[in-house]
A and B are shown apart, each in its own frame.
Chain A
């Protein structure tokens, strides 16, 4: 029997793979195609940028051919106003209400500005967007985003592009246990085990870009992280055993060989 993760709904998309692929940092659009095929990812993020005849068309065609769910983002936006206009352009270009909302505070941390993020989430939700809100690992902000209408809440494990993994697993666990919407771990994943850990903490998916696109072998890493995310999800559903302080043998004590005791009839 081969267990597979059950289908999950994120905004307007239904997907099975628990890896959402970020396309940022790939050496070429052709590599993006190969990464998507190698990982089996069914949802990929893209940025919205000024039109460029060659590169824009090539990426659009690849994603259309592969029939993946395209999740546009508002990367690079520093306030709600910019993010809302970018979101509206994205919806017009891609005909989807799904939107990864990023409103960052500064370019050193690339961490979200929670005030602008909450404002933008509320306004975009009112405009009919399915907001996937990229946020800090703060359980209070995560809850507020849900209350403002976010469809998916996406806390960071560590800052974008650092590959530092999940710096505050307890916060991620609290966000998950308190949430009524799907939680996707976004940012910070450096390798396969980080993805597994995120899923074991109860996240519904992981969003990974740099760890795959900047790996020495992006295709192999894409497959590794996709499998790792699925494995972590299955482990979460299957249920880990409680932790103990002292050892506990799994083999029975009964039936051990005994070299010292002679049969009673011999006495």
Chain B
């Protein structure tokens, strides 16, 4: 099975080629709300997660909320 290398919050991860953002989100068991992500500096709206395919060397920032003033 062919894989691609991506990074999530600075850590490298391998994922099956042609996986979508939705596939990744389900693999990571993320909650339904309160998270968001950007790929290579662009925010990917939740409504497009199923159609956006991850490419080799994509850099993903995955965020949620934390305590803060």
- What chain A residues lie within 8 Å of B69 (beta carbons)? 22-25, 45, 47, 73, 75, 160, 187, 207, 209-210
| Distance of A207 Cα from B67 Cα, bound (Å) | 14
- Docked Cα-Cα span, A70 to B67, in Å, equals 11
Q: How many A-B residue pairs have CB under 8 A?
A: 106
Q: Cβ of A60 < 8 Å from any Cβ of B?
A: yes
How long is the Cα–Cα vector from A73 to B43 in the complex, in angstroms? 17
Determine whether B51 belongs to the interface, using a CB cutoff of 8 Å to chain A. Answer: no
Let me know if B67 and A24 touch, CB within 8 A. Answer: yes
Asked if residues A89 and B65 are in contact (CB atoms below 8 Å), the reply is no
Q: In residues 19-34 of chain B, which contact A (Cβ within 8 Å)?
A: 30-31, 33-34
Choose from B45, B64, B68 the contact partner of A52 (Cβ within 8 Å).
B64
Query: How far is the CB of B28 from the nearest CB of chain A, in Å?
Result: 9
Min CB distance, A72 to chain B, in Å?
A: 7
Chain B residues closer than 8 Å to A50, beta-carbon distance: 9, 61-64
B46: which A residues are within 8 A, CB to CB? 92
- Contacts known (A50-B62, A51-B30, A92-B45); A25 close to B67, Cβ less than 8 A: yes
Question: Shortest distance in angstroms between B22's beta carbon and chain A's nearest beta carbon?
Answer: 15
Residue of B nearest to A81 (CB): B41
| A93-B68 contact, Cβ under 8 Å, with A56-B34, A88-B43 | no
Chain B residues in 8 Å Cβ range of A92: 36, 43, 45-46
Q: What count of chain B residues pass the 8 Å CB interface test?
A: 22
Q: Is the CB of B65 within 8 A of A70?
A: yes
Q: B67 to A32, Cβ gap below 8 A?
A: yes
Indicate if the CB atoms of B65 and A60 lie closer than 8 Å: yes
Interface pair A49/B64, CB less than 8 Å apart: yes
Q: Contacts A89-B36, A89-B38, A94-B34; is A59 near B67 (CB within 8 Å)?
A: yes
A22 and B64 form a contact (CB under 8 A): no
Q: Are B63 and A55 within 8 A (Cβ)?
A: no
**Contact of A73 with B62 in the complex, beta carbons under 8 Å:** no
Query: Whole-angstrom distance between the alpha carbons of A75 and B41 in the complex?
Result: 18
**Residues on the A chain within 8 Å of B9, using CB:** 50-51
Q: With contacts A56-B34, A85-B41 known, is A51 near B67, CB below 8 A? A: no
Contacts of B64 in A (CB 8 A): 48-52, 56-57, 60, 93
The reply to whether B33 and A60 contact each other, CB–CB distance below 8 Å, is yes
B67 near A52: Cβ-Cβ < 8 Å: no
Residue contact A51 to B68, C-beta cutoff 8 Å: no
Q: A46-B67, A89-B63, A93-B63 are in contact. Are A51 and B35 (CB under 8 A)?
A: yes
Q: Nearest 9 A-B pairs (CB), nearest first?
A: A47-B68, A22-B69, A209-B69, A56-B64, A92-B36, A24-B69, A60-B34, A93-B36, A49-B66
Chain B interface (Cβ < 8 Å from any Cβ of A): 9, 30-31, 33-38, 41, 43, 45-46, 61-69
12 A-B pairs (CB sep. < 8 Å): A49-B64, A49-B68, A50-B9, A60-B33, A60-B64, A72-B65, A85-B41, A88-B38, A89-B37, A90-B63, A92-B43, A93-B35
Task: Known pairs A51-B64, A90-B36; list 18 more (Cβ under 8 Å).
Answer: A24-B69, A48-B65, A48-B66, A49-B64, A50-B63, A50-B64, A52-B66, A56-B34, A56-B35, A57-B34, A60-B64, A73-B68, A89-B61, A92-B43, A93-B33, A93-B35, A94-B34, A210-B69
